[in-house]
Structure 1
Amino acid sequence: MKTIKRVLLLIAILLTLTIFYNYPKLNIIAGYSAKNTASSVFLANRSLEFTDKNDNEFPPINLASDKINPEEKSATSSAVGLLTRKAIYREGLGSVLVTDNYEPNSNPLTPKRSTPDNNTPFPYGNAEPIDTVFTNVNYDKVKETVNSIFGDEYKTRATVVIYKNSIIAEQYDEGFDKNSLLLGWSMTKSITGTLFGILQCQGKIDVQAKAPIKEWQNDERKNITLHNLLQMNSGLEWNEDYNSISDVTKMLFLEENMPQLQLKKPLIGKPNASWNYSSGTSNLLSGILRQQFKTHQEYLDFWYTDLIDKIGMNSMVVETDLSGNYVGSSYAWATARDWAKLGLLYLHNGNWKGEHLFDKDWVEYATTPTPTSNGWYGAQIWLNAGNRFPDVPTSMYSFNGYQGQYVFILPEQDLVVVRLGLTKNLDVNQFLKEIISAIE
C-alpha cells in the first residue's frame, strides 16, 4: 500500500511540474485559438466548424477546444482542459483577447468609415472590372500557373493577378470568393509603414528624426530614429519565433498594450547596423502614430480616411489591442482584391485617381535595402534586391505575411500578384517566373 501511495504521489508531483512548466505555452495556445476563432467567426463570417477544421487544425493549436457565444460575440478556447482564454469581437475594431481588466460595457471608440463606391469598376471602385484583353498575355498559361498553387499541398485560398490595372487571373479555393475577408498577418506592417509615408508627404513627420519616445531620452536608445524603426534596424533586442514562448508570441497573445513590449527592450546592437525582423517594432510604430494625433478618435480615423478607405479597401478591418492600438504588425483583414489595391498604390508611386497619397520618393525610400539585411528588406517591405529569387527581377518587392500571405509588386512588368493561404511552401521564384513568362 505504501508503495502504491508513493507511486501516486510521484505521478501527482510529475503532473504538477509538467503543468507548471507548460502553463505559459498553454496560455499562448489557448490565446491564439480564441483570438483566431473570434476573428474567423465574427469578422470573416466563417463557421466554428470550418475554423476548427482548417485555420486551427495544426499543432500545437489543435490542442485547444473552442466554443463561441453568438449573443456575446465571443470565443472561448480551452487548452487540454487546463487553461481557458476568451476573445471578444467589437464592430469596427475586430477581435481581441480579454483579461481581468476588461470592462464589457466600456463602449470603446471606433473608426469612422466612408461609404464604399460600388459603382466604379475595380480597381478604383468595387464594381466588377471592365473586361480588357491584352494580345501579349498568354491567358491559358497564366490560368494554369495560378491553378497549380491550389490544392491540399499549398492550401492557397485566393490568388489575383493584375496587369496594367486589369485582372487577368483570379481564383479562389472552395468556400472562398471575391468577398471573403482574409488575414494578411505581417502584410499589415506594410500598411503601418505606408502611413508614415503619407504623413511625411503631408509634411507632418520626418522619418529621419529621432523616435519620439520619452523613455529613451536618458539612455543610449535616444539616438534611434524613425528611419531605423521603419527598417527594423534599431539595434533593439527582440526574438521573433512563432514556435516557442518568444517576444512575438507573448506580445500577440498576452499583452494588453502591444507597443510597450518593444519600447521596454534594451539596445543590444548599433542602430543602422543591426537588422532584426521584429513585429514588436511595427507595433511600436503604431504607438508612435497614435502620438501624432490630439485625440484617439483622430488616430483611429486616420488609418481609414488617409489610406484604407481613400483607395477603396473598404472591406479591410485592422484590429486593435485591448488598449486601443492598431495591431500594426499582424491583424489586418481584407479581400484579395483590396489587398491588391495596396500593391497598385505602390505600383503607381502613391498616385490614386490623380491624388498623391505619397510620392515616388517614398517608394524609392521604402524599397531601398536596409543595411545588413542582404538586400531582403526595406521600410516595412520585403525586397528582391539581393536576388533571393533569381528568376524574378531584382526590382520586385512585396508585402509578406505568416503562412505565405503575399502581395508582389513588379514595376518593370506593370504587375501586382496576390496570394493568400495557409502554408508558406509556395515556390515564389517558380510561380512568379511562370507568370512573367506568360506576359513577356
Structure 2
Amino acid sequence: MNWKRKLKVASVVVVVALAVYLALPQNHYIVRALIYQQVNIDDYKIFHNRTVKAGTPQPWRLHEKYNSYQLTNDQLKYFNDFRTVAFLVVKDTALLFESYWDGYGKDSYSNSFSMAKSIVSLLMGCALSDGYVKSIDEPVGNYLHEFAEGDKAKITIKHLLTMSSGLSWDESYSTLFSLTTQGYYGKNLPKLVLNQTVVKEPGKTFEYRSGDTQLLSLIIEKATGKTLADFASEKIWSKIGAEHDALWCLDRKDGVEKAFCCFNTNARDFARFGQLVLNGGRWNGEQIVPEEYLNESLTPASYLFDPETNKNVDFYGYQWWMINVDGYKTWYARGLLGQYIFVIPSLNAVVVRLGHVRNNNRIDGTPEDVYQYIRFGISIVKSIENNE
C-alpha cells in the first residue's frame, strides 16, 4: 500500500472515529457547541425554556426628567465599542433614563448569563424564610444524597453561596471540553454537578464555579418540591411587578433550569431585582427576601483567600459582587457578556446594562467596564440632580 493510500485510509479512520465519538450521548454538547460557536444573548431561542410567570404588572413610573440626559460622544463610543443593547437608570423608584441599540427595545429579551447566580441567591433567602431550608450552615448532603459521605459531606450551603466549595468544576470558557461548556450545551446538568469531586478544603479559597450555583438550585428544588422557575415566580417574580413573564433555559425538555446562567427578560424587568435589593428585600411593604440574609449576601466573605488578586475577598458575598467606585459603594450582579445590574444605595439608584461584549481588561481582578458603567450611571443621576 503506497503512502497516499495509507494517508487516505488513516483519514477515513479518524473521521469515522470522530463521528462515533460525537455520536455518543454524553458528547452531544460538543456538536451543539461547534454549531453555535459562541454564546449569545438570544440563546433562549435554541434551548428549551420554563416560564417564570409574572403577576400583576407594575410599570415603572417615569421620572419628571425622564430621558432628558444626552449621552456624551465618549459614552456613546464606549457603548458602541462593546455592542451595548440596553442601558437603563432607575432613580428614586422612577425610570430616569433608558436607551437601546441594535434593534433591541424595552420589551426585548436577553440572557442574564451569570446574573442568574445572584437571582438564585435571592431564592435561597426565600427558601430559608419559608423554612424549606433550615440554615446555610447545613451540609449539602442533608438535601443531596450524593454529598452525604466522604469529603463532599464537609461542604455546606454557605460554601456554595460564597464560591468556596473546593469542588472540581472547571470554569474555563475557552475549551470544548470544560464543564462550563458541557453545562451550557449539555443535557444532564444534575449528573454533571453531582459527580464532582473535592479538590480543595471547603471554606478557605474563593474560586468562581458555576457548578456551585447549580447545586444551590438543586437544593432549592429538593427542599421545596418545586421547579426553580415556579419557585422564582411564586416568591419573587409575581410580586415585584414584572411586566413580562421571564424564561429560564433548561438543560433539556422538561429538565432542570440552567441556574448558573440563563434567566431571560428585558432591561426594565431586570432592574426590578436591583430595586428589590435596594429596598432591603421588600416590595410594596412585603418582606420578600429576609433582610438579615440579604445583608449577609451583600457583605464580603473576607475570610476567604482569592488566588487571582492574592488577597482576601473584599468583592463577593453570597453570589453578589460588590465594589467601591469613586466613593460610591455598589452591589451588583454580572454576566459573561457584560450583563450588569448595579445597585448604588447612596444615590437610591439602579443601573442596568445589557449587551453582546464585555471589556475583559481587568482592574484589580474586576472587568474594566464595571467601572465605566457605574460612572455613566452616576453621571446621569448627578447631572439630573444638578440640573445640568
Task: Decide: shared fold, TM above 0.5.
Answer: yes
1:260 is displaced (CA, Å) by 2.8
Q: Does 1:246 align with 2:178?
A: yes
State the partner residue of 1:99: none
Which residue, out of 368, 382, 394, partners 2:299?
368
1:399 aligned partner, one-letter code: A
Gapped regions of structure 1 (runs ≥ 5): 45-74, 76-86, 95-109, 123-128
Gapped regions of structure 2 (runs ≥ 5): 307-312, 360-367, 383-388
Alignment size in residue pairs: 355
8 Å Cα contact 2:296-2:318 kept in structure 1: yes
Which residue, out of 339, 346, 354, partners 1:412?
346
Which residue, out of 65, 73, 96, partners 1:133?
65
State the partner residue of 2:362: none
Give the TM-score normalised by structure 2. Answer: 0.81
Which residue, out of 340, 354, 366, partners 2:271?
340
1:368 is displaced (CA, Å) by 1.8
1:338 is displaced (CA, Å) by 0.5
Which residue, out of 247, 263, 280, partners 1:317?
247
8 Å Cα contact 2:162-2:206 kept in structure 1: yes
2:59 aligned partner, one-letter code: P
1:15 is displaced (CA, Å) by 6.4
2:190 and 2:373 map into 1 onto residues whose CA distance is: 36
1:378 aligned partner, one-letter code: G
The 1:8–1:161 alpha-carbon spacing in structure 2 relative to 1, beyond 3 Å, is farther
Deviation sequence 1:400-437 (CA, Å, 0-9, x none): 11111111111122121111111011632133224324
2:128 and 2:190 map into 1 onto residues whose CA distance is: 21
1:272 is displaced (CA, Å) by 1.0
1:183 is displaced (CA, Å) by 0.7
1:300 and 1:140 map into 2 onto residues whose CA distance is: 37
1:164 and 1:396 map into 2 onto residues whose CA distance is: 16
Deviation sequence 1:330-373 (CA, Å, 0-9, x none): 11100100000001100111010110102332222111223224
Cα RMSD, aligned residues only: 3.1
Deviation sequence 1:100-158 (CA, Å, 0-9, x none): xxxxxxxxxx76x35542xx431xxxxxx234239xxx95366767534332x211011
State the partner residue of 1:181: 109
Give the TM-score normalised by structure 1. Answer: 0.72
8 Å Cα contact 1:32-1:253 kept in structure 2: no
The 1:412–1:144 alpha-carbon spacing in structure 2 relative to 1, beyond 3 Å, is farther
Q: Does 1:218 align with 2:149?
A: yes
8 Å Cα contact 1:197-1:358 kept in structure 2: yes
The 1:285–1:26 alpha-carbon spacing in structure 2 relative to 1, beyond 3 Å, is closer
8 Å Cα contact 1:315-1:335 kept in structure 2: no
Once the two structures are aligned, what percentage of the paired residues are identical?
A: 26
2:108 aligned partner, one-letter code: S
2:290 and 2:169 map into 1 onto residues whose CA distance is: 32
1:311 is displaced (CA, Å) by 1.1
1:251 aligned partner, one-letter code: G
Q: Does 1:308 align with 2:242?
A: no
Tell me, what secondary structure is at the counterpart of 2:164?
coil
* Larger relative contact order (CA 8 Å, sep ≥ 6): 2
8 Å Cα contact 2:28-2:186 kept in structure 1: no
2:72 and 2:235 map into 1 onto residues whose CA distance is: 35
1:268 aligned partner, one-letter code: V
8 Å Cα contact 2:171-2:208 kept in structure 1: yes
1:201 is displaced (CA, Å) by 2.4
State the partner residue of 2:203: 272
Deviation sequence 1:65-98 (CA, Å, 0-9, x none): xxxxxxxxxx6xxxxxxxxxxx5x4xxx35xxxx
1:396 is displaced (CA, Å) by 1.0
8 Å Cα contact 2:353-2:373 kept in structure 1: no
1:325 is displaced (CA, Å) by 1.6
State the partner residue of 2:59: 121
2:371 aligned partner, one-letter code: N
1:40 is displaced (CA, Å) by 3.9
The 1:19–1:132 alpha-carbon spacing in structure 2 relative to 1, beyond 3 Å, is farther
1:34 is displaced (CA, Å) by 6.0
1:19 is displaced (CA, Å) by 7.7
